[in-house]
Amino acid sequence: MKRSVAKSKKSVSSKKAFSAGVASKSVLKDASQHLMNTYRRSDMIFTHGRGCYVFDQNGKKYLDFLGGIAVNALGYSYPDLVKTIKREAGRAVHVSNLFHNPFQGPLAAKLAKWSGMDRVFFTNSGAEAVEGALKLARIAAKQKTGGVRKTRFLAMENSFHGRTFGALSITHTLKYRDPFEPLVPGVEFVRFNDVSDLEAKFTGDVCAIVMEPIQGEGGIYPVTSEFWNRARELATEHEAALIADEIQCGLGRTGRAFAYQRLPGLPDIVVVAKPLAGGLPLGAILANEKFAAAFSPGLHGTTFGGGPLTCATGLTFLETVEKKRLLDNVRARSAELRAGLKKLAAKFDFIAEIRGEGLILGIDLSVEGAPFVAEALKQGLLINCTHDHILRLLPPYILTSAQVKEGLSKLESVFAKTERPALSTAVPSDAAAALALAAAR
């Protein structure tokens, strides 16, 4: 009898495994035949997550130090987010922006309080927020005396702002730009953190200067106080907008509400997205009254941005960060991570530098980074590599001290077990040369 029961259980287990295998093959087949070929993906299928862990189709668990690329700030299946989403899905997922919904105004007020800005426009994504910010800066300049000629944008070398045409036009990296040239005209790039270059290029026909307070895709490079302060002064002098792209580094990622809050002077316009609605698509343009006033009915709009479901979830996210004192947790876990990474840097000579703030950290290598990412995946750790040689860490804000230790242990094992890759041709001898090289690509 016992043997029969055991055999029955084994049979059920085998059937489940077989069914999962068949389903996986079907999913991958459909993806191969019908999805556009825009991502290099493995055959792994993530099916669900809990906290800082995500699980694949075979039940394997991974510690997520990538956070859906800075989106899953509260990890996976966070109970309060799940509760809000279930509640609002049963009420109204979408209401036209021709009418108010119960959550847009309160979320805008909360974002204004966090940021020091005055008004908000909600979007579906970060790229859409960037596009809207460029429009806002351009129309504000046009409404000023002589504004017809005030149309030029300054952006940073080594920058990344998105893949739509306007956002791509102010993104510097050639591999993203070249296939789609010609892009939107009237953009000039400034060497990041080079005050002399900034002063030479910031003329009276500039309507806006756009920068990331911490360059994310560019390799976790923070702007210097000197450069930011001079940009603020020049923007004020020329009545241009200072636009802060906080899509990756904002909304708590640095241990502050916004990364620019460590710097002197506020921006005029801020764009956010990624973690704002806990994984649902929601972005926003924040602006001070002076620039926000340039928009009037009919000049800008969106169909889905700011719906009741996403805004309610956004409110829950921000309230959770406040109530759970998650900015304190970000700073504490960051200190532990950085201390551990410094020890690893002393042990492995191919680690050139550790950069970043809070839970947006970069491990700059003198060798190619891709083999380490692959080995990390094998060992159940999610990270990624940008600019060929910089490992990027973007874990959730709810990360625990025990999970920091687990992640550091996995990283040490990854560095030890991975056959030493070739020297990266993208790696120069110092950070300044790195930026110069990035500008040349």
pLDDT tens-digit readout, 121-176 = 999 999 999 999 999 999 999 998 666 789 999 999 999 999 999 999 999 999 99
Percent of the chain with pLDDT over 90: 87
All structural domains of the chain with their residue ranges: 24-77+326-417, 80-323
Q: Which of 77-91, 400-414, 425-439 has the lowest mean pLDDT?
A: 425-439
pLDDT of residue 140: 96
Q: What is the mean pLDDT of residues 253-260?
A: 98
3-state secondary structure the chain: CHHHHHHHHHHHHHHHHHHHHHHHHHHHHHHHHHCCCCCCCCCCCEEEEEECEEEECCCCEEEECCHHHHCCCCCECCHHHHHHHHHHHCCCCCCCCCCCCCCHHHHHHHHHHHHCCCEEEEECCHHHHHHHHHHHHHHHHHCCCCHHHCCEEEEECCCCCCCCHHHHHCCCCHHHHHHHCCCCCCEEEECCCCHHHHHHHCCCCEEEEEECCEECCCCCEECCHHHHHHHHHHHHHCCCEEEEECCCCCCCCCCCCCHHHHCCCCCCEEEECCCCCECECCEEEEECHHHHCCCCCCCCCCCCCCCHHHHHHHHHHHHHHHHCCHHHHHHHHHHHHHHHHHHHHHHCCCEEEEEEECCEEEEEECECCHHHHHHHHHCCEECEEECCCEEEECCCCCCCHHHHHHHHHHHHHHHHHCCCCCECCCCCCCHHHHHHHHHHC
Q: What is the mean pLDDT of residues 40-57?
A: 95
Would you place residue 300 in the very low, low, confident or very high pLDDT band (cuts 50, 70, 90)? Answer: very high
- State which CATH number among 3.40.50.150, 3.40.640.10, 3.20.20.70, 3.90.1170.20 fits the domain covering 80-323: 3.40.640.10
pLDDT of residue 42: 86
pLDDT higher than threshold 60 for residue 429: no
Q: What is the mean pLDDT of residues 310-334?
A: 98
- The CATH superfamily label for domain 24-77+326-417 reads Aspartate Aminotransferase, domain 1 (3.90.1150.10)
pLDDT higher than threshold 80 for residue 240: yes
pLDDT higher than threshold 80 for residue 18: no
pLDDT of residue 147: 66
